[in-house]
Structure 1
Amino acid sequence: MKTIGKMILGLLLFTSHHVYAVDKMETSNSIRFGMQAVFTAQPGKGEELAQILLQASQVVSHLEGCMIYLVQVASADQDKILITEVWENQEDQQTSLANTEVRELINRARPLIVAMEHTPAKPLGGKGL
């Protein structure tokens, strides 16, 4: 009986510790907000658009909640600019869009963009987070 009791106690302790660890992990990641965006520039305007988005990365990197703002160009199409964003929460990302410098850069970029796709995401982890 003592052995079974110890096994049950051990199992309960292991389970409660595991649940606590998973809950803590989910809590720390659950408020993060990610965004994957693809901007297609007018033919031949990809580099110009990328430069504006790189300027935006410099501005937002100093704003509250910005963890990652990565600008890339598609290997197969120089007019496709890819953005990966990770923020502490969605509110910080939305607040960044109201920043005066960000608004100015958005207004400069708009005429260059012919298409865009946005996919909100929930960052789970990995290098850089």
Structure 2
Amino acid sequence: MITTRRTFIGASALTLLAACAPKSGAFAMEELDLDNLYGLIGEIKAAPGKGRELAEILLEASASRMPGNLAYLVSLGVEESDSVWVSEVWTSKQAHDDSLRLPAVQAAIGKARPIIGGFGTRVETRPLGGAGL
């Protein structure tokens, strides 16, 4: 799969944008427009041997808050330890899009960019609820 610069930067932003996720309990379920929730699940392929380092950058950045982010989960692939999977839930697609302009998100992208080797699967979802939401 050929990755253009725009796709690369966009995918970087999408997977790093929840760097400022709010802590749980920031929203009550009755306050949310459940029909408008927006989710992303994406794989970032780290340079060889850099999976844990990339995951740590994402986890460090997730200690901050970002308006509209409900969940941000960072995982390492079991079979491919240099694959970092990010699962995100947002109050809306607009909240997600707005987050791309935040300084903390841009800083996380800049820090991670040198060790990103590429991108795998990226899926947009419509979250319905469940444990943790």
TM class, shorter-chain normalised? 0.7 to 0.9
Deviation at 1:84, TM superposition (A): 0.4
Provide the aligned C-alpha RMSD in A.
1.7
Which protein is bigger by CA-based radius of gyration? 1
In the TM superposition, residue 78 of structure 1 has moved relative to its aligned partner by 1.1
TM-score scaled by length of structure 2 = 0.71
Aligned to 2:70: 67
Percent of pairs with identical residues: 36
8 Å CA contact 1:33–1:86 kept in 2: the answer is yes
Does the aligned pair in 2 maintain the 1:57–1:70 contact within 8 Å? no
Counterpart residue number, 2:109: 106
- The aligned counterpart of 1:54 is 59
Q: Within 5 Å, which residues of 2 pair with 1:1-129?
A: 28-59=33-64, 62-116=65-119, 117-129=121-133
SS of 1:37's equivalent in the other structure is strand
| 1:54 counterpart SS class | helix
Deviation at 1:46, TM superposition (A): 0.7
Q: Which residue of 1 aligns with 2:6?
A: none
Deviation at 1:118, TM superposition (A): 2.0
What TM-score does the superposition give when structure 1 sets the normalisation length? 0.73
**Count of matched residue positions in the alignment of Structure 1 and Structure 2:** 102
CA distance in 2, matches of 1:58, 1:33: 21
- Structure-1 separation of matches of 2:129 and 2:108: 29
Amino acid at match of 1:112: I
Spell out structure 1 runs of 4+ moving beyond 4 A.
none
